Amino acid sequence: MSRARLAFTLVLAVCACACTRAPTPAELQPRRDARPARSPLPDDAERIAVRVAAAALAGRTDQALSRSAALEREEKLRKQRAEAPSGLVDNAAEVVAACDGSDTFPAHSRTLLARDDLDPAIRLRLERVIASDPLESANADLAADRRFRAGALVNRIVEPASKLLLTGLLNPIDATRTLLATLLTAHKLPRASVRERRALRAWDDWLARHPDDPRAREIAARAQRYRAKLEAERYERALAGAEEALEARELERARILAGRALASRPESEPAAKLFERSSAGLASRDAQVRSSLQMHELAPPSLETSSRDAYLELAREALVAAAEPLAARAAGWRADGAPPHIGGELAFLSSFGPLARGDEDGFFATLGEVPKLAPKGDSVSRQAVAILTDPDQNPYAVYRAAATADRRARLAWLALGPHANGPRHRDLPRPLEYLLDLPGTAISLVTFPLRLIQYPTASARFGQGVLIAGERYTVRRPHGQHAPEIDRDLASRYAARGQFGAALRHEQALADPDPERIASHREKIAEQMLSGVEREKRIDMKLALLVAIAREYPDTESGARARERFIAEKRAVTPQRIRLTHGFLVEHPELWAPGMLGLNPELLDGATRNGEIAAAGVVLVGRSAIEISLEDREPALAQIPADDFARFAARLEQISYASLTRDPRESPSSDAARDAFLASARLGTVDAPDLRPSARSEAVYRSTHEKHGFVNARESILPVDLVLQGGVESLGLAAFPRIRLPQAPADALLYD
Q: How many domains does the chain have?
A: 6
Gap between the Cα atoms of 700 and 582, Å rounded: 11
DSSP 333-376: HHHTT--GGGHHHHHHHHTHHHHHTT-HHHHHHHHHTHHHHSPT
More confident site: 429 or 63? 63
**499-513 residue pLDDT tens:** 999 999 999 999 899
Report the share of the chain in percent with pLDDT over 90: 31
Q: Which of 83, 107, 132 is the endpoint of a domain?
A: 132
H helix count then E strand count, the chain? 33, 7
Q: Residue 723: enclosing H or E segment and its boundaries?
A: strand 720-727
Label the pairing between strands 625-630 and 613-622: antiparallel
557: phi then psi, degrees, rounded to nearest 5: -65, -40
Q: CA geometry: angle at 323 spanning 319 and 324, to 5°? A: 140
- Report whether pLDDT(688) > 80: no
Residue 19 has pLDDT above 50, yes or no: no
More confident of the two residues 58 and 37: 58
Q: What sign has the CA pseudo-torsion 600, 602, 604, 605?
A: positive
3-class SS of residue 717 = coil
Q: Please give the pLDDT value at position 297.
A: 61
pLDDT digits (tens, 9 = 90+) for 629-652: 998 888 999 999 999 999 999 999
The pLDDT value recorded for residue 435 is: 64
* pLDDT given for residue 11 in this prediction: 45
The amino acid occupying position 567 is: I
636 and 665 within one domain: yes
* 228 and 123 assigned to the same domain: no
Q: How confident is the model at residue 475 (pLDDT cuts 50, 70, 90)?
A: very high
The span from the CA of 502 to the CA of 517, in Å, is: 13
In DSSP notation, 659-715 reads HHHH-TT------HHHHHHHHHHHHT-TTS----GGG----EE--HHHHH-SS----
Is there a contact between 500 and 521 (Cβ–Cβ < 8 Å)? yes
What is the reported pLDDT for 8?
45
557 lies in the same domain as 428: yes
Instruction: Give the range with max mean pLDDT: 22-26, 328-332, 358-362, 465-469.
Output: 465-469
pLDDT, the chain, mean: 83
Provide the 10 A C-beta neighbour count for residue 194: 19
Side by side, which strands form the sheet with 700-701?
636-639, 625-630, 613-622, 578-580, 700-701
Does residue 243 or residue 20 have the better pLDDT? Answer: 243
Mean pLDDT of 130-144: 88
pLDDT of 179: 56
CB atoms within 10 A of CB 84: 7
432 with 544, same domain: the answer is: yes
Inform me whether the pLDDT recorded for 726 exceeds 90. no
Q: For residue 268, what are the contacts with CB-CB under 8 A and spacing of at least 6?
A: 235, 239, 261, 262
pLDDT recorded at residue 14: 43
Is the confidence at residue 363, as pLDDT, over 50?
A: yes
Q: Does residue 28 lie within any of the structural domains?
A: no
Q: Is the backbone of residue 427 left (phi > 0), alpha (psi -120 to 50) or beta? A: left
* pLDDT band at 15; cut points 50, 70, 90: very low
Q: What is the mean pLDDT of residues 562-578?
A: 87
Closest-CA residue to 745 (of 35, 201, 361, 34): 201
pLDDT of residue 320: 77
Please list the residues that pair with 722 across neighbouring strands: 737
pLDDT, position 736: 67
Same domain, 471 and 564: yes
Residue 57 shares a structural domain with residue 83 = yes
Query: Per residue in 246-274, is it b (16+ CB within 10 Å) or e — as a string?
Result: beeebbeebbbbbbbbbebbeebeebeeb
pTM of the model: 0.64
* Shared-domain flag, residues 683 and 738: no
What's the CA gap between 506 and 495, in Å, rounded?
10
Residues 261 and 327 in one domain: no
**Confidence category of residue 16, pLDDT binned at 50, 70, 90:** very low
CA–CA dist 599, 588 (Å, integer): 13
Q: How confident is the model at residue 687, as a pLDDT?
A: 79
User: Do residue 420 and residue 367 come from a single domain?
Assistant: no
Distance CA 195, CA 147 (A): 11
d(Cα 323, Cα 319) in Å, to the nearest integer?
Answer: 10
CB 616 within 8 A of CB 582: yes
Residue that terminates a domain, selected from 569, 588, 618: 569
The stretch 270-281 carries a mean pLDDT of 94
38 within some domain: no
Q: Is residue 642, in this structure, part of any structural domain at all?
A: yes
322 pLDDT more than 80: yes
Highest mean pLDDT among 63-72, 298-307, 407-416: 63-72
What integer pLDDT is reported at residue 40 of this predicted model? 76
Dihedral (Cα; 159, 160, 161, 163), 10-degree rounding: 90
Q: Provide the domain limits for residue 185.
A: 134-189+712-752
> Is residue 10 situated within a structural domain?
no
Answer with the residue of higher pLDDT: 282 or 188: 282
- 176-195 pLDDT, tens digit each: 555 555 555 555 555 678 88
Taken as a whole, the chain contains a residue count of 752
Contact yes or no for 572/539 (Cβ under 8 A): no
Which pLDDT does position 521 carry in this prediction? 94
> How many angstroms separate the CA atoms of 224 and 411, rounded?
54
How many other β-carbons are positioned within 10 Å of the β-carbon of residue 360?
19
d(CA 26, CA 46): 39
User: Is 170 inside any structural domain?
Assistant: yes
The predicted model gives 493-497 an average pLDDT of 90
Q: What DSSP letter does each residue of 250-277 carry, written as one string?
A: -HHHHHHHHHHHHHH-TT-HHHHHHHHH
- At 616 the three-state DSSP class reads strand
| Average of per-residue pLDDT across 692-707 | 86
> pLDDT of 142-162, one tens digit each?
998 888 888 877 777 776 666
Type and span of the H or E element at 385: helix 379-389
* Alpha-carbon distance values, 493 to 467, 487, 529, 646 (Å): 8, 10, 20, 59
Q: What is the dihedral of CA 331, 336, 337, 341, to 10 degrees?
A: -20
pLDDT value for 461? 76
Query: What pLDDT score was predicted for residue 1?
Result: 44
Q: Is 696 left (phi over 0), alpha (psi -120 to 50) or beta?
A: beta
Across 45-70, average pLDDT:
90
Mean pLDDT of 469-486: 93
Q: Is the dihedral of CA 260, 266, 269, 275 positive or negative?
A: positive
Query: Does 298 reside within a domain?
Result: no
Q: Give the H/E segment covering residue 382.
A: helix 379-389
Confidence band of 170 (pLDDT split at 50, 70, 90): very low
Cα 645 from Cα 390, distance rounded (Å): 69
Which of residues 109, 132, 155 is at a domain's end? 132
pLDDT for 734 equals 60
CATH number at residue 216: 1.25.40
Task: State the Cα–Cα distance between residues 121 and 104, nearest whole angstrom.
Answer: 21
Q: How far apart are CA 71 and CA 45, in angstroms?
A: 6
Residue 12 has pLDDT above 50, yes or no: no
Side chain identity at residue 116, one-letter code = D
- The answer to which of 192-196, 286-290, 722-726 has the lowest mean pLDDT is 722-726
CA dihedral 570, 575, 578, 579 (to 10 degrees): -50
Q: Cβ distance 71 to 89 under 8 Å?
A: yes
Residues 6+ apart with CB under 8 A from 439: 171, 173, 174, 177
- Tell whether 83 is covered by a domain: yes
Asked if residue 299 is part of any domain, the answer here is no
pLDDT at 599: 92
Check whether 690 has a pLDDT greater than 90: no
For residues 697, 701, 707, 709, the Cα torsion angle rounded to the nearest 10 degrees is -150
Phi and psi, residue 723, nearest 5°: -115, 130
Query: What is the reported pLDDT for 670?
Result: 86
Residues 554 and 449 in one domain: yes
Give yes or no: residues 127 and 140 share one domain: no
Q: What pLDDT is attached to residue 422?
A: 67
> Range with the lowest mean pLDDT among 65-79, 405-419, 573-587?
405-419
pLDDT band at 619 (very low <50, low <70, confident <90, very high): very high
CB 141 within 8 A of CB 199: yes
Cα 531 to chain center, whole Å?
A: 21
Strands (E), 450-528: none
Same domain (yes/no): 185, 213: no
* Measured distance between the N- and C-terminal CA atoms of the chain, rounded to whole angstroms: 84
